[in-house]
């Protein structure tokens, strides 16, 4: 079986296709392992040996990194991949559909167990932790997302979702990578000092790949991130045997650790950030991954895209014993992640996807097999909450019993178009180029940061702080607003929190003030600008470029 051909997709879609199904899984996992291994070093590898060894950074020449880092927004996107093919009909349940219960006599979800969304649909009761987000309008559900000529191969369909390509098109870059490639076509030669994309766990490696190769940093699992956060290294250079082979291993580890281009920026942000002990993360890999993301965001790392994953959704059998626990982990992890972010939550958009949905009818093993469309969830303060697209309920009641795949209601690239155009502010023409066509954003799904109808309400403590331009290559203006006179300190610190410049340290009158910042003498990199008064403080990040 070769998923690289343009032939019809393999029919490895149920337990009846055992060997083909296993091969599809093996190909899917093997490719992800290999690409994960090559991107784990953030695109850094060695050519030659000894004194003549050269460090080659695949990420250094990709405009995706630079354009994302210099985009006129501090907004971020967190992508959660639901690996294995999530059964959307048991996640967003059409509880008024007779056909749903008729075709799922054992696994159908009782209406009384659901978190009601409206008069026809409810979330699986295992996701009750999202009730507050739904009530606050911070959760959107996109019904029956998919694409034409759907592939039911794990391997192929994951690539299509991650690359935003057509079913008959093969790409080796992700849609997120192409966004940056298009956003800043006249990029400068110098790379950014921090990663723009970070992948933790088993999310598709295409999500951190641009046309020029690997983007940013990739961690194979949350434990690897934790090692870096605790020690500043991926591998312990001292934990080797006292032998000649041990000495050689130590040397390899030294080269590997020092070759990680973005190691210092990520390590420093992980030290500066701290998870909220009251956030209430559940156990599991997804919770650990999202906690790591929150720590980096709170530590001032301006990476724009984070990709994480949760697997186990290939529920061909005993679905009621498996899927609810996974859905509960998603709901509780996202709820805790949002609480952990605190004031930063407003600039973070979180989105789920799965490579395909599952059959309408249950199979003989009380599970479901591979099918096509499945819902997406989008979370965050910038989301227009509610239901989008035509729900599956009325469709189910009109389908013949021999049709076992739910048809697409919303092309998933329309959701991506909403993220690119409304969340990140990309032009319509560039959005069309990135997605390979003019996919119309879903009206109201995402709040645009680029159309401001009224001045934002002042913060409760009356302090405002901003830096422009940002990134800065020379001089910048720091804007400070106080609602009452106060002693005020304005300083610049590195991401480890160490003060490198004091720009102002005396009384300021109430009102607006402009403080000059000359970045001359500072190395290129990420810095923190801090405003402190006796009663409150503000911090913003600024990137110095050369």
| Residue pLDDT tens, the chain, 546 long | 333 333 344 455 665 655 556 556 555 454 444 344 333 333 332 222 232 222 222 233 333 334 444 455 678 999 999 999 999 999 999 999 999 999 999 999 999 999 999 999 999 999 999 999 999 999 999 999 999 988 888 878 888 878 878 888 888 777 676 765 555 443 334 456 677 788 887 766 666 665 655 556 667 666 766 766 666 555 566 777 887 677 666 655 554 444 456 777 777 888 889 999 999 999 999 999 999 999 999 998 888 889 899 999 999 999 999 999 999 999 999 999 999 999 899 899 999 999 999 999 999 999 999 999 999 999 999 999 999 999 999 899 899 988 999 999 999 999 999 998 899 888 888 788 888 888 999 999 997 654 433 334 455 567 888 888 877 878 888 999 998 899 999 999 876 678 899 999 999 999 899 999 998 888 877 788 889 888 888 888 787 876
Name which of 157, 155, 203 is nearest 24 in CA terms.
155
* 468 and 431 both lie in a single domain: no
The CATH number of whichever domain residue 528 belongs to comes to 2.60.40.3080
- Quick check: is 160 in a domain? yes
Q: How many CA atoms lie within 13 A of 526 on its CB side?
A: 29
| CB hemisphere CA count around 397 (13 angstroms) | 8
Q: Are 119 and 96 in contact (CB under 8 A)?
A: yes
Q: What secondary structure, in 3-state letters, does 415-447 show? A: HHHHHHHHHCCCCHHHHHHHHCCCCCCCCCCEC
Residues 330, 187 share a domain: yes
Do residues 101 and 47 both lie within one domain? yes
Per-residue HEC secondary structure of 141-196 comes to EEEEEECCCCCCCHHHHHHHHHHCCCCCCCCCCCHHHHHHHHHCCCCCCCCCCCCC
- For residue 225, tell me if it sits in a domain: no
**Residue with structure tokens 């979800």?**
109
**Whether residue 365 sits in one domain with residue 468:** no
At residue 100, the 3 state secondary structure works out as helix
Nearest C-alpha neighbor of 177 from the set 43, 309, 296, 83: 43
Q: What is the pLDDT of residue 258?
A: 41
Q: Answer yes or no: do 349 and 473 share one domain.
A: no
Q: Is 323 exposed, middle or buried (0-12, 13-18, 19+ CB in 10 A)?
A: buried
Q: Are residues 361 and 496 in the same domain?
A: no
The predicted pLDDT at position 252 comes to: 53
The interaxial angle of helices 263-272 and 222-231, nearest 10 deg, is: 80
pLDDT at 460: 57
- CA torsion 527-533-538-542 (nearest 10°) is -20
Instruction: Tell me, yes or no, whether 70 and 150 share the same domain.
Output: yes
Please indicate, yes or no, if residue 283 is contained in any of the structural domains.
no
Q: What is the dihedral of CA 228, 233, 237, 241, to 10 degrees?
A: 20
Q: Is residue 447 part of a domain?
A: no
Residues 97 and 192 in one domain: yes
If asked whether residues 182 and 331 sit together in one domain, one would say: yes
Tell me whether residue 231 is in a domain: no
Together in a domain, 42 and 124: yes
* Cα gap 540→466, rounded to integer Å: 7
DSSP string, 466-530: EEESSSBSSEEEEEEEESS-EEEEEEEEETTS-EEEEEEEEEE-SEEEEEEEE-TTPPSEEEEEE
Which two tokens mark 515?
């403080």
CB atoms closer than 10 angstroms to residue 31 = 17
What CA–CA distance (Å, rounded) separates 223 from 289? 9
Spatial contact of 204 and 159, defined as CB atoms under 8 Å apart: yes
Q: How many domains does the chain have?
A: 2
Q: Is residue 56 part of a domain?
A: yes
| Other Cβ atoms closer than 10 A to 279 | 18
DSSP string across 449-476: TT--SSPPPPPTT--EEEEESSSBSSEE
Beta-sheet pairing, 121-123 with 374-379: unpaired
Task: Give Cβ neighbours of residue 402 (< 8 Å, ≥ 6 apart).
Answer: none
* Same domain (yes/no): 108, 28: yes
Angle between helices 285-298 and 323-341 (to 10 degrees): 10
3-state helix, strand, coil in the chain (%, to 5): 35, 25, 40
In a domain, 448, yes or no: no
Long-range contacts of 448-456 (CB under 8 A, 24+ apart): 448/421, 448/422, 448/423, 449/73, 449/75, 449/382, 449/423, 449/425, 450/425
The residue with tokens 């940056």 is: 180
Task: Name the token pair of 320.
Answer: 């009621």
Instruction: For residues 341 and 348, give the distance between their C-alpha atoms in angstroms, rounded to a whole number.
Output: 9
Q: How many Cα atoms within 13 Å fall on the side-chain side of residue 353? A: 26
pLDDT at residue 52, as a whole number: 28
Beta carbons within 8 Å of 22's beta carbon, 6+ residues apart: none
The pLDDT of residue 140: 96
Residue with tokens 């109808």: 453
Domain of 470 in residue numbering reads as 464-544
> CA 254, CA 235: separation in Å to the nearest integer?
8
**Is the same domain home to 407 and 480?**
no
**Tally of residues, the chain:** 546
Tell me whether residue 457 is in a domain.
no
Question: How far, in Å, CA of 107 to CA of 510, rounded?
Answer: 63
């Amino acid at each position: 079986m070769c998923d690289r051909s343009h032939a019809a997709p393999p029919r490895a879609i149920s337990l009846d296709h055992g060997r083909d199904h296993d091969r599809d899984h093996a190909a899917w996992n093997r490719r992800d392992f290999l690409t994960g291994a090559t991107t784990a070093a953030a695109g850094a590898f060695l050519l030659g040996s000894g004194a003549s060894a050269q460090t080659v950074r695949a990420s250094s020449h990709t405009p995706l990194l630079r354009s994302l880092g210099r985009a006129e927004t501090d907004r971020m996107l967190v992508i959660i991949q639901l690996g294995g093919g999530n059964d959307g009909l048991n996640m967003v349940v059409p509880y008024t559909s007779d056909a749903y219960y008729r075709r799922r006599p054992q696994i159908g979800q009782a209406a009384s167990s659901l978190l009601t969304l409206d008069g026809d649909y409810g979330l699986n009761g295992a996701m009750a932790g999202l009730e507050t987000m739904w009530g606050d309008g911070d959760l959107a559900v996109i019904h029956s997302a998919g694409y034409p000529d759907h592939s039911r191969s794990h391997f192929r369909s994951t690539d299509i979702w991650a690359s935003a390509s057509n079913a008959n098109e093969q790409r080796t870059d992700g849609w997120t990578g192409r966004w940056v490639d298009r956003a800043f076509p006249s990029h400068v030669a110098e790379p950014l000092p921090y990663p723009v994309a970070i992948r933790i766990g088993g999310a598709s490696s295409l999500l951190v790949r641009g046309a020029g190769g690997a983007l940013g940093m990739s961690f194979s699992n949350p434990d690897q991130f934790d090692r870096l956060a605790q020690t500043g290294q991926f591998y312990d250079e001292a934990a080797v045997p006292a032998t000649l082979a041990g000495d050689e291993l130590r040397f390899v580890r030294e080269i590997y650790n020092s070759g990680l281009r973005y190691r210092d920026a990520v390590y420093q942000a992980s030290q500066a950030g701290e998870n909220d002990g009251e956030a209430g993360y559940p156990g599991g890999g997804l919770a650990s991954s999202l906690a790591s993301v929150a720590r980096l965001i709170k530590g001032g790392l301006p990476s724009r895209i984070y990709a994480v994953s949760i697997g186990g959704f290939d529920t061909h059998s005993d679905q009621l014993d498996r899927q609810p626990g996974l859905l509960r982990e998603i709901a509780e992890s996202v709820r805790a992640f949002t609480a952990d972010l605190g004031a930063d939550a407003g600039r973070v958009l979180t989105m789920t996807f799965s490579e395909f949905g599952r059959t309408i009818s249950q199979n003989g093993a009380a599970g479901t097999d591979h099918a096509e469309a499945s819902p997406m969830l989008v979370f965050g303060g910038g989301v227009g909450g509610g239901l989008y697209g035509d729900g599956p309920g009325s469709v189910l009641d009109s389908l013949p019993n021999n049709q076992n795949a739910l048809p697409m209601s919303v092309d998933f690239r329309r959701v991506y178009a909403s993220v690119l155009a409304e969340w990140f502010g990309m032009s319509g023409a560039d959005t069309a180029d990135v997605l390979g066509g003019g996919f119309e954003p879903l009206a109201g799904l995402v709040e645009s940061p680029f159309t401001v109808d009224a001045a934002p309400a002042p913060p409760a403590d009356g302090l405002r702080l901003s830096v422009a331009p940002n990134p800065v290559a020379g001089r910048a203006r720091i804007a400070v607003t106080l609602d009452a006179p106060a002693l005020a300190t304005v300083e610049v610190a590195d991401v480890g929190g160490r003060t490198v410049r004091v720009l102002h340290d005396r009384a300021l009158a109430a009102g607006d003030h402009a403080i000059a910042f000359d970045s001359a003498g500072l190395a290129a990199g990420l810095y923190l600008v801090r405003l402190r008064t006796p009663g409150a403080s503000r911090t913003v990040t600024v990137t110095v470029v050369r």
